[in-house]
């Protein structure tokens, strides 16, 4: 036990917690830029409906596209001081009901700069699907005075460009609108201009100045979804699945959904503020019309309003609508209009259409779909070996052990702390011997250290993002002063990818995979901030300051705690405020505090300044030096080799920052503001490419990323970032993952247990029980939390967590089949109920339950000591409760009793789920184990299902090396057939696996045997256990040991 | 299936030379459990948990009939099964069914041929045996060592005990001596005290006279008749009130705040003309000490005419610093009075005082805003100082005639008591040591006062058996529980 200051530590932490809890939601909101502080957003929101008067002129077909010019009604108005140049509008049509609309400035008018279009997001195959338009027809719609141009889209769908005022919409059968743009006349396009004298384009936000050298260049427009009951999508937000209106009558705090990738410290649920990722894709769904989707390919900051019905009541404009509709307002700071309309009409159609544009999710390696064990940090090799052996000791399977930032040498990625990890290869090989893998973290910030080869090379080659003055941008992150490779540049991405080759990444082995964190990019001293600090109190009131434990290394060492304040919490007037800054673990001792540093707010600038007293620190810290490190280390960590003062740039509300300045420069003079949301995407892409290179193009990569953008699904998994060990965060994980799945990103999950804070055993167990159904299933924990590996909470809880993990392992064949489905169709593994039951209105806003594939329904338990759970089972079929095998009627809400043992889960009648019931230490050890098929019969005694298998590792599946079976049960006969009978590929995959057990749910017992054809053998039928677990299991009709090969065609007739 | 069996037999033939060959049916069954399966071999066998039944042909048929795994001890079919590894050449082991056909050391659980397992048991067994041998050797070595330690301990304990009894005798003798000396000393001190009081009184009177003169010379225009008596009365009063005055006063004051002490000094200096005057006075004093001797009597009669309020104000003025010059001078005067005798001790005192001052200054700079620690520190210093201060002061006021004898007695007393306390502390440490639990045969006796260190990566762990354990990293030390 550490006797030093433990008491203080505890005391202050409890204080900190108390003050923290009471204040989070109230001030969190203030930390980020809201719409009113964001000029483009404020301007766009203040526009009145119908204020856009642009008309479409010169409409024609050219190069297979419909093109037009958008011009003001009186272009020759001499009194207009800044004449509006015409905009070029292009409409293209692609197969399967995708309409693309582009609007940009006319290059012939020589705008000061080419606007940024996001490259490398649209897959090349999509462009090949373009339909070359041959002709357009003109008609006058309704009571319009002018004509509209109409082009064919798909079957009964047509795209319409109304000329005056300009409007684009898609209409379906009978002329019914599906979705439209600029129906409310809110379109606005700020064209690039040359700065006039005396004009001030700069923008200031909390002490940071954005030079905005190109002036205002934002774009905004309205999009309407017809026949829609709800809209969904636009992740990433910690909000409900069905998006709530952000503006209009009855909306109290009117703040649009923001899409701006930020490293948000302890994000809160039910907040429209942007977090780590941005996917500007919205999907509407309604009982009347079905589903449609809209995607705006734009990487600048975006704000989106969902307008509640009646929002435009004041304007008095009668809209051509005879059906329910949802209007939305889209605003972006820069870029062009490059928008896609998806006609649906079903939910899976929209997802397929969208993923045809940005690509379907990559096929993960088999091991990646199993359970991952992570913590910041597994300390050293001994710790790793210990954790690994504990899993074996408790017979709990796991597949991947993760190493966070502490494994590196001073946060220099691609290096190892050789004291803690002297034999990284040996360590990985030991895991690999049990079929397990390891993941290490590689972040985009590169330590500015001349002796670090990566930094030296990047500097010499000019590979870093530049600041507004053209110098290498120098930001602050884990390692201290850092720079960021310009991932927009394909050459730099290729250079980065090479760093993952085994010969370049010293200490790596082929069983090592990668985790990309902080790629929003996270910059601690950039312009937008986040966290910092709650109040700390030891004596008296303190400042609202709490610096993140996670953000900066130096913060953990000399943890800024403002211990005492001369005045009050908020600085008022010009009086200087002084306070003391504490060393974290010695927080309560003011002596220590002041030895470390002093804190004051400058009188003039009102900037908080922290003054480190190095001498006194060195002299006085002997007793606590093990807590804060030696002087050298401290100074180094703080980055103050020559500085006595370290300025905390933003404080009170803003404090620390999260990302790069908007005027930072990328290749080709692209401003960071234009591509911000895509930076992490390119980084993720480069890393995944690196692992492909490492495997000589033969091995599928695995890279987990935190930042996301459309197309991220092609590069790997993502997780929902730094959540908290709270029940509400467990609850919000479901809509977050569902939303990601709707917008193409299926391989996602939330940190099981919650990253920040310590979950109680019950919450942890519930999280495992839910997390076992997340597509990406990883437990993770913050540095300062207590250890929480599954065996640390008593025998009973260990058993419960083990059981949850076992359920996942048993279902791996089903999950893997679903990943393949996502890989081919884009349809996510984890789906909202309405995706499977689009006509069942009761499911539309349900985000506490979800479907895993089309066969499993899972209901989360989100409250402590829950005895019951209300579960809505969609209509049409009955549902078999997984625990008992008994059937429940669909179309109603059941009040289910819940025990600590599991959360409610049901198999839909009419489905067949493949399982592997034998337990192994890791998924790779299950390769040769036999299957169990669980057939849940519907009212007509029928069912069907699929099973996909491949080698789980290589890209050979893309050449046809896989087994994809289809199982159909009807008339008492189970038939296995090949779903891809042609087997066109050259490559083949074979498996000797057999089916050892077939369970029939909903089948009346009586039969004694079954006949297997073509082998002409008999198999016994008996009552067997539903589950192979300790304790009594319900018995079900079981075909015993049919032992048919999974790869073959066969039938089994129940006699 | 056939192929697999053939392979199995082949494999069994290979490994089965020394161990008894388990049949397919008995695969994975621990020898003590074989009876469970045999006893019921007529028809069906019950699952151990009683949930199901299975036939003998279903035993180890690679299909799980019992959720608890009873029917599949030799396969991986039941998730809850346990496989008994015979591990010929090594210790037998029970493993989870999740390892069957995975990798157990003797290869007997890897019979399906998917995994090529080499029989590592002989090697592992050899290794284990050697390890065991080493362990035995270590233990034997330990036993020898222990014997040695016990012998050693016996000798040491005997030695320590002898010392203890000797010391106890000495203590007794010394105690008596100390008691005698103490009595003698107290007598002397009483006498001294009496004399000192007498002398002080004289001195005060002398001072007052001097003060009166000073006042006179300073404020010629002032109404002399009033000023003079007031001053003198004041001093007289203080002298009576405080008895053993300024030394204690100084000590206490310094406990309040070092800054105040400094302040006092400074404020004395602020009044520059006044100060000079004082110095002048002091000089005069030195030159003609006798001249003042007649003064006191006349002055001491006057104080009755002073009002209470005035008295209060005067007393208060001491804290406001108006008067501090006199205090300083008082000390100076004393020093000057007896230069030959008191020179050495006074100098020491002064030096210490200065040292104290400067350190305080230093400290108060360092601690600037931190009152707590400062206070603590100051208290420490204050107390120490107080002691020295008073003793040196006392020596100053010793009577000349008595001095040599008194000093002698005092010195003897001091020496003896310090010797006594030394002996006592040695006795107590020895007693403590002897009372420790050093194991049944006192084999750990020599570990007392010994420390062991071990280095683990960047930490150095230090264990001192009868004291503390710690973890050191660089210069820092963490005490471990």
Active site residue A31: no
Share of chain A above pLDDT 70, in %: 81
Chain A's closest residue to B480, CA to CA, is A1
Sheet holding A887-888, edge to edge: A830-831, A849-852, A856-859, A905-908, A879-881, A887-888
**B377 neighbourhood in chain A, CB within 8 Å:** none
B187 touching chain A per CB within 8 A: no
CA distance A577 to chain B (A): 15
Of A703, A733, A751, the domain-final residue? A703
Query: Among A487-501, A1039-1053, B42-56, which stretch is predicted with the lowest mean pLDDT?
Result: B42-56
**Residue B333 has what pLDDT?**
43
Please give the tally of structural domains in chain A: 4
Among candidate residues A236, A255, A406, A520, the one labeled active-site is A520
Pick A354 or B363 by higher pLDDT: A354
**Residue in the structure block whose two tokens are 């360590």:** A427
When pLDDT is cut at 50, 70 and 90, the band that residue A83 belongs to is low
Q: Are residues A293 and A421 in the same domain?
A: no
Buried b (16+ CB within 10 A) or exposed e, B58-76: bbbbbbbbbbbbbbbbbbb
Give the pLDDT band of residue A324 (cuts 50, 70, 90). confident
Question: For every one of its 481 residues, what pLDDT tens digit does chain B have, with 9 covering 90 and above?
Answer: 444 545 544 444 444 443 444 566 778 888 888 888 876 556 788 888 888 888 888 899 999 998 888 899 988 999 888 888 777 667 777 888 888 876 544 456 666 655 555 556 666 677 778 888 888 888 888 888 888 888 888 888 888 888 888 888 888 888 888 888 888 888 887 887 888 888 878 877 777 777 777 766 655 554 444 444 444 444 444 444 444 444 444 444 444 443 343 444 444 444 444 444 444 444 444 444 444 444 444 444 444 455 545 544 544 444 444 443 444 444 444 444 444 444 444 444 444 333 333 333 343 343 344 444 333 333 333 333 343 433 333 444 444 445 667 778 778 888 888 888 888 888 888 887 777 777 777 777 777 767 777 766 556 666 766 666 666 555 555 555 5
Q: Do A516 and A553 share a structural domain?
A: no
State which of A313-322, A647-656, B195-204 shows the largest mean pLDDT.
Answer: B195-204
Query: Which of A594, A624, A1028 comes nearest B78 by C-beta?
Result: A1028
CB-based contacts of A954, cutoff 8 Å, min separation 6: A698, A699, A700, A961
User: How many CB atoms are located within 10 Å of the residue A1 CB?
Assistant: 8
Tens of pLDDT, residue by residue over A19-62, are: 333 333 333 444 567 888 888 999 999 999 999 989 999 999 99
Strand, coil or helix: A562: strand
Q: Provide the β-strand partners of residue A887.
A: A880
Q: What is the pLDDT of residues A957-983, one digit of tens each?
A: 999 999 999 999 999 999 999 997 665
Asked if B209 reaches chain A (Cβ–Cβ under 8 Å), the answer is no
- DSSP code, position B115: S
Cβ-Cβ contacts under 8 Å for A289 (sequence gap 6 or more): A172, A176, A178, A226, A227, A228, A323, A345
- The Cα B164–Cα B248 span in angstroms is 42
The residue written with tokens 């110098």 in the block is A471
Pull the structure tokens for residue A1016.
């002409």
Residue A517: pLDDT band with limits 50, 70, 90: very high
Measure B349 CA to nearest chain A CA, in Å: 30
Which residue matches tokens 């099981």? A752
A-B C-beta contacts closer than 8 Å: 101
The answer to whether residue A704 scores a pLDDT higher than 90 is yes
Domain boundaries, chain B: 2-119, 175-427, 449-480
CB contact (8 A) between residue B366 and residue A616: yes
Which range among A72-76, A338-342, A717-721, A1020-1024 shows the weakest confidence by mean pLDDT? A72-76
Query: What is d(CA A648, CA A662) in angstroms, rounded to the nearest whole number?
Result: 20
Lowest mean pLDDT across A81-85, A490-494, A661-665, B175-179: A81-85
Model ipTM? Answer: 0.78
- The pLDDT value recorded for residue B131 is 85
**Mean pLDDT over the full length of chain A:** 84
Q: Residues A726, A757: contact at Cβ < 8 Å? A: yes
A380 lies within 8 A of chain B by CB? yes
CATH number for position A1044: 2.60.40.1180
pLDDT of A992 reads: 93
pLDDT for res A597: 47
Q: Is the pLDDT of residue A616 over 70?
A: no
What confidence category does residue A82 fall into, taking pLDDT thresholds of 50, 70 and 90? low
Q: Say if residue A475's pLDDT is above 60.
A: yes
Per-residue confidence (pLDDT) for residue A442, from 0 to 100: 98
Chain segment A763-776, per-residue pLDDT in tens: 999 999 999 999 99
Contact A395 B77 (CB under 8 A): no
Per the CB < 8 A criterion, the answer to whether A1036 and A1000 are in contact is: yes
| A509 inside 8 A of chain B by CB | no
A889 pLDDT band, cuts 50/70/90, is very high
The percentage of chain A sitting over the pLDDT mark of 90, rounded to a whole number, equals 70
- Could you tell me if A134 and A272 lie in one domain? yes
Same domain assignment for residues A317 and A249: yes
Catalytic status, residue A200: no
Q: Answer yes or no: do A917 and B64 touch at CB < 8 A.
A: yes
Q: What is the pLDDT at residue B127?
A: 77
CB contact under 8 A, B76 and A4: no
Could A3 and B65 be called an inter-chain contact, meaning their C-beta atoms sit closer than 8 Å?
no
| Residues A738 and A848 sit within 8 Å (Cβ to Cβ) | no
- pTM metric for this prediction: 0.73
The answer on A285 and A157 residing in a single domain is: yes
Number of Cβ atoms within 10 Å of the Cβ of A754: 27
If asked whether residues A270 and A319 sit together in one domain, one would say yes
Question: Can you give the CATH number for the domain in which A103 is found?
Answer: 2.60.40.1760
A164 and A254 both lie in a single domain: yes
Q: How far apart are CA B37 and CA B45, in angstroms?
A: 7
Q: Which of residues 647-666 of A touch B (CB under 8 A)?
A: none
- Of the candidates B119, B112, B106, B109, which has an alpha carbon nearest to the alpha carbon of residue B28? B109
Closest chain B residue to the Cα of A419, Cα to Cα = B457
Could you give the C-alpha distances from A236 to A118, A466, A693, in angstroms and in order?
A: 19, 28, 30
Structure tokens at B428: 């107590």
Rounded Cα distance, B370 and B377, in Å: 11
| d(C-alpha A466, C-alpha B468), whole Å | 56
Residue A526 to residue A262: CA distance in whole angstroms? 11
Mean pLDDT of A227-256: 93
On whether the CB atoms of residues B60 and B77 are closer than 8 A, the answer is: no
Weakest mean pLDDT among A30-44, A264-278, A580-594, B141-155: A580-594
Q: Are residues A471 and A535 in the same domain?
A: no
SS3 string, A643-690, reads CCEEECCCCCCCCCECCCCCCCEEHHHEEHHHHHHHHHHHHHHHHHHH
Which positions 226-285 of A are in contact with B (Cβ < 8 Å)? Answer: none
**Mean pLDDT, range A399-405, rounded to an integer:** 97
Residue with tokens 């693309």: A100
* Residue A511, domain member (yes or no): yes
State the CATH number of the domain containing residue A454.
Answer: 3.20.20.80
Q: Are B476 and A616 an interchain contact pair (Cβ–Cβ within 8 Å)?
A: no
**Nearest residue to A628 (alpha-carbon basis) of B473, B371, B459:** B473
User: Domain boundary at A299, A326, A358, which?
Assistant: A358
Among the candidates A304, A324, A358, a domain finishes at A358
Do A4 and B479 make contact, defined as CB atoms within 8 angstroms? yes
Report CB contact under 8 Å: A921, B102: yes
Question: What is the reported pLDDT for A265?
Answer: 67
Greatest mean pLDDT among A262-276, A318-332, A1008-1022, B83-97: A1008-1022
Structure tokens at A724: 């908290």
A410 shares its domain with A272? no
With bands split at pLDDT 50, 70 and 90, how would you rate the model's confidence at A452?
very high
User: Domain check: are A519 and A565 in the same one?
Assistant: no
Dig out the tokens for B447 from the structure. 């570990």
> A996 vs B63: CB contact, 8 Å cut-off?
yes
Reported as a single tens digit per residue, the pLDDT across A108-158 is 988 889 999 999 999 999 999 999 999 899 999 888 888 999 999 999 999
The pLDDT of A301-325, averaged and rounded, is: 76
pLDDT, position B242 = 42
What residues 528-557 of chain A have any CB closer than 8 A to a CB of chain B? none
From A419, A619, A918, residue closest to B458, measured CB to CB: A419
Contacts of A416 in chain B (CB under 8 A): none
A921 → closest Cβ in B98, B478, B481: B98
- Residues A20, A50: one domain? no
Mutation pick from B64, B74, B469 vs chain A, by most beta carbons of A within 10 Å, is: B64
Better pLDDT: A950 or B237: A950
Q: Where is average pLDDT lowest: A106-115, A461-470, A595-604? A: A595-604
Q: Is A349 annotated as catalytic?
A: no
Question: Cβ B476–A1027 below 8 Å, yes or no?
Answer: no
Report which of A593, A458, A472, A595 is spatially closest to residue A536, judged by C-alpha positions. A593
What is the residue range of A469's domain? 373-523+683-703
Instruction: Give A-chain residues touching B474 at CB under 8 angstroms.
Output: 625-626, 630
CA distance A305 to A310: 14
Residue A1033 maps to a domain: yes
A578 plus A430 within the same structural domain: no
The confidence score (pLDDT) of residue B244 equals 42
Q: Are B85 and B110 in contact (CB under 8 A)?
A: no
């Amino acid at each position: 036990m550490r006797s030093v200051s433990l008491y203080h530590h505890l005391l202050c932490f409890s204080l900190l917690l108390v003050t923290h809890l009471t204040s989070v939601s109230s001030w969190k909101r203030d930390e980020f830029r809201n719409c009113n502080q964001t000029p483009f957003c404020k301007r766009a929101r203040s526009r009145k409906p119908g204020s856009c008067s642009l008309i479409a002129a010169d409409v024609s077909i050219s190069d297979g596209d419909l093109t037009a010019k958008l011009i003001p009604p009186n272009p020759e108005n001499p009194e207009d001081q800044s004449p509006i140049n015409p905009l070029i509008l292009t409409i293209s049509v692609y197969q399967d009901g995708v309409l693309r609309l582009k609007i940009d400035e006319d290059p012939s008018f020589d705008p000061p700069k080419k606007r940024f279009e996001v490259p490398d997001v649209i897959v090349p195959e999509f462009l090949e699907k373009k339909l070359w338009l041959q002709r357009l027809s003109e008609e006058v719609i309704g009571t319009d005075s002018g004509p509209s141009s109409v082009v064919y889209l798909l079957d009964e769908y047509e795209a319409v460009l109304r000329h005056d005022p300009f409007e684009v919409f898609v209409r379906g059968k009978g002329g019914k609108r599906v979705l439209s743009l600029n129906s409310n006349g809110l379109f606005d396009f700020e064209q690039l201009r040359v700065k006039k004298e005396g004009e001030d384009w700069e923008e200031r936000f909390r002490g940071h100045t954005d030079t905005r050298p190109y002036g205002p260049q934002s774009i905004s427009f309205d999009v309407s979804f017809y026949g829609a009951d709800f809209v969904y999508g636009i992740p990433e937000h910690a909000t409900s699945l069905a998006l709530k209106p952000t503006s209009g009558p009855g909306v109290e705090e009117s703040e649009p959904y923001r899409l701006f990738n930020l490293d948000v410290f302890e994000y809160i649920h039910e907040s429209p503020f942007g977090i780590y990722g941005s996917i500007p894709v919205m999907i509407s769904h309604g009982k009347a019309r079905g589903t449609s989707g809209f995607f705006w390919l734009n990487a600048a900051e975006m704000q989106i309003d969902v307008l509640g019905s009646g929002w435009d009541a004041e304007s008095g404009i009668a809209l051509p609508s005879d059906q329910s509709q949802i209007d939305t307002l889209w605003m972006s700071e820069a870029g062009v209009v490059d928008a896609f309309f998806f006609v649906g009409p079903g939910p899976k159609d929209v997802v397929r259409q969208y993923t045809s544009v940005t690509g379907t999710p990559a096929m993960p390696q088999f091991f990646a779909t199993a359970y991952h064990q992570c913590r910041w940090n597994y300390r050293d090799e001994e710790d790793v070996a210990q954790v690994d052996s504990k899993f074996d000791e408790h017979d709990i399977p796991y597949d991947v052990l993760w190493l966070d930032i502490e494994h590196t040498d001073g946060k220099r990625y691609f290096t190892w702390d050789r004291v803690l990890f002297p034999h990284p290869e040996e360590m990985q090989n030991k895991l690999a011997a049990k079929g397990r893998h390891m993941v290490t973290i590689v972040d985009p910030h590169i330590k500015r250290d001349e002796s670090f080869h990566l930094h030296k090379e990047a500097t010499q080659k000019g590979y870093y993002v530049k600041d507004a003055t053209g110098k290498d941008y120098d930001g602050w992150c884990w390692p201290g002063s850092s720079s960021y490779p310009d991932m927009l540049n394909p050459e730099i991405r290729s250079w980065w990818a090479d760093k993952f080759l085994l010969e370049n990444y010293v200490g790596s082995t082929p069983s090592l995979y990668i985790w990309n964190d902080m790629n929003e990019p996270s910059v601690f001293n950039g312009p937008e901030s986040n966290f910092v600090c709650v109040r700390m109190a030891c004596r008296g009131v303190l400042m609202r300051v709490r610096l993140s434990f996670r953000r900066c290394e130096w913060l953990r060492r000399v943890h800024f705690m403002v211990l005492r304040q001369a005045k009050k919490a908020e600085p008022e007037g010009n009086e200087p405020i002084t306070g003391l800054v504490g060393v974290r673990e010695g927080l309560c001792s003011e002596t220590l505090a002041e030895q470390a540093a002093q804190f004051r707010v400058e009188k003039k600038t009102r900037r908080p300044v922290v003054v480190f007293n190095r001498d006194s620190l060195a002299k006085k810290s002997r007793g606590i030096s093990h807590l804060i490190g030696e002087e050298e280390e401290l100074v180094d960590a703080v980055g103050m080799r020559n500085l006595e003062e370290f300025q905390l740039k933003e404080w009170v509300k803003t404090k620390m920052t999260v990302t790069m300045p908007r005027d930072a420069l990328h290749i080709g003079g692209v401003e960071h503001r234009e591509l911000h949301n895509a930076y992490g995407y390119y980084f993720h892409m480069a890393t995944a490419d690196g692992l492909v290179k490492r495997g000589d193009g033969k091995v599928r990569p695995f890279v987990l990323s935190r930042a996301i953008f459309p197309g991220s699904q092609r590069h790997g998994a993502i997780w929902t970032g730094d959540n908290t060990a709270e029940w509400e965060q467990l609850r919000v994980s479901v809509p977050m993952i569902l939303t990601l799945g709707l917008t193409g990103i299926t391989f996602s999950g939330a940190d099981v247990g919650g990253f920040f804070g310590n979950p109680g055993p019950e919450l942890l167990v519930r999280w495992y029980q839910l997390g076992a159904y997340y597509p990406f299933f990883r437990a993770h924990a913050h540095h300062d939390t207590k250890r929480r590996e599954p065996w640390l909470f008593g025998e009973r809880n260990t058993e419960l967590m083990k059981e949850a993990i076992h359920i996942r392992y048993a279902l791996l064949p089903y999950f893997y089949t679903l990943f393949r489905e996502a890989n081919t169709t884009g349809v996510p593994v984890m789906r909202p109920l309405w995706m499977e039951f689009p006509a069942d209105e009761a499911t539309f806003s349900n985000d506490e339950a979800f479907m895993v594939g089309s066969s499993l329904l899972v209901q989360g338990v989100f409250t402590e000591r829950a005895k019951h759970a209300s579960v809505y089972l969609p209509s049409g079929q009955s549902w078999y409760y997984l625990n008992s095998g008994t059937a429940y009627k669909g179309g109603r809400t059941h009040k289910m009793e819940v025990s600590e043992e599991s959360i409610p889960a049901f198999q839909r009648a009419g489905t067949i789920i493949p399982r592997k019931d034998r337990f192994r230490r890791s998924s790779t050890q299950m390769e040769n184990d036999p299957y169990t098929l669980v057939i849940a019969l519907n009212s007509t005694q029928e069912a069907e299902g699929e099973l996909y298998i491949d080698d789980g590792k290589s890209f050979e599946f893309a050449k046809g090396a896989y087994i994809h079976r289809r199982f159909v049960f009807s008339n008492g006969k189970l038939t296995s057939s090949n779903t891809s009978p042609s087997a066109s590929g050259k490559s083949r995959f074979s498996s000797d696996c057999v089916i050892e057990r077939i369970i029939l749910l909903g089948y009346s017992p009586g039969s004694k045997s079954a006949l297997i054809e073509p082998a002409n053998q008999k198999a016994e039928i008996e009552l067997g256990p539903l589950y192979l677990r300790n304790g009594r299991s319900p018995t079900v009709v079981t075909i015993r040991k049919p032992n048919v090969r999974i790869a073959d065609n066969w039938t089994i007739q129940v006699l | 299936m056939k192929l697999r069996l053939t392979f199995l037999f082949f494999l069994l033939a290979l490994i089965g030379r020394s161990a008894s060959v388990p049949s397919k049916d008995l695969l994975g069954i621990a020898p003590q459990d074989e009876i469970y399966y045999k006893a019921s071999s007529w028809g069906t066998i019950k699952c151990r948990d009683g949930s199901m039944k299975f036939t003998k042909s279903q035993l180890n048929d690679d299909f799980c009939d019992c959720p608890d795994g009873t029917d599949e001890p030799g396969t991986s079919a039941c998730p809850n099964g346990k496989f008994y590894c015979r591990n010929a050449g090594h210790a037998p082991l029970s493993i989870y069914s999740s390892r069957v056909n995975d990798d157990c050391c003797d290869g007997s659980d890897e019979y399906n041929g998917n995994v090529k397992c080499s029989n590592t048991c002989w090697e592992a067994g050899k290794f284990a045996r050697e390890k065991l041998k080493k362990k035995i050797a270590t233990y034997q070595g330990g036993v020898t060592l222990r014997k040695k330690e016990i012998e050693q301990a016996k000798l040491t304990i005997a030695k320590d005990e002898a010392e203890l009894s000797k010391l106890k005798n000495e203590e007794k003798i010394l105690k008596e001596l100390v008691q005698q000396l103490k009595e003698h000393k107290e007598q002397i001190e009483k006498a001294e005290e009496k004399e000192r009081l007498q002398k002080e009184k004289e001195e005060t009177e002398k001072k007052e006279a001097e003060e009166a003169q000073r006042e006179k010379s300073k404020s010629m225009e002032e109404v002399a008749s009033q000023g003079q008596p007031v001053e003198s009365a004041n001093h007289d009063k203080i002298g009576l009130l405080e008895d053993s005055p300024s030394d204690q006063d100084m000590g206490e004051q310094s406990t309040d705040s070092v800054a105040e002490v400094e302040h006092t000094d400074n404020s004395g200096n602020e009044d520059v003309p006044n100060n000079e005057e004082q110095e002048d006075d002091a000089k005069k004093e030195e030159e003609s000490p006798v001249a003042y001797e007649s003064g006191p009597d006349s002055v001491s009669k006057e104080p009755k005419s002073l009002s209470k309020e005035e008295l209060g104000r005067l007393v208060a003025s001491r804290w406001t610093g108006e008067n501090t010059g006199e205090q300083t001078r008082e000390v100076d005067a004393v020093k000057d009075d007896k230069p030959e005798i008191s020179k050495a001790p006074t100098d020491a005192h002064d030096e210490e005082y200065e040292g104290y001052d400067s350190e305080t200054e230093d400290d108060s700079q360092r601690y600037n805003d931190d009152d707590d620690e400062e206070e603590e520190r100051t208290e420490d210093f204050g107390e120490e100082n107080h002691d020295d201060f008073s003793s040196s002061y006392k020596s100053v006021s010793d009577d000349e005639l008595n001095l040599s004898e008194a000093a002698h007695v005092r010195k003897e007393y001091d020496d003896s008591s310090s010797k006594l306390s030394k002996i006592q502390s040695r006795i107590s440490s020895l007693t403590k040591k002897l009372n420790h639990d050093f194991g049944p045969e006192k084999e750990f006796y020599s570990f007392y006062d010994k420390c062991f260190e071990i280095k683990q990566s960047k930490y150095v762990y230090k264990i001192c058996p009868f004291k503390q354990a710690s973890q050191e990293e660089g210069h820092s030390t963490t005490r471990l529980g």
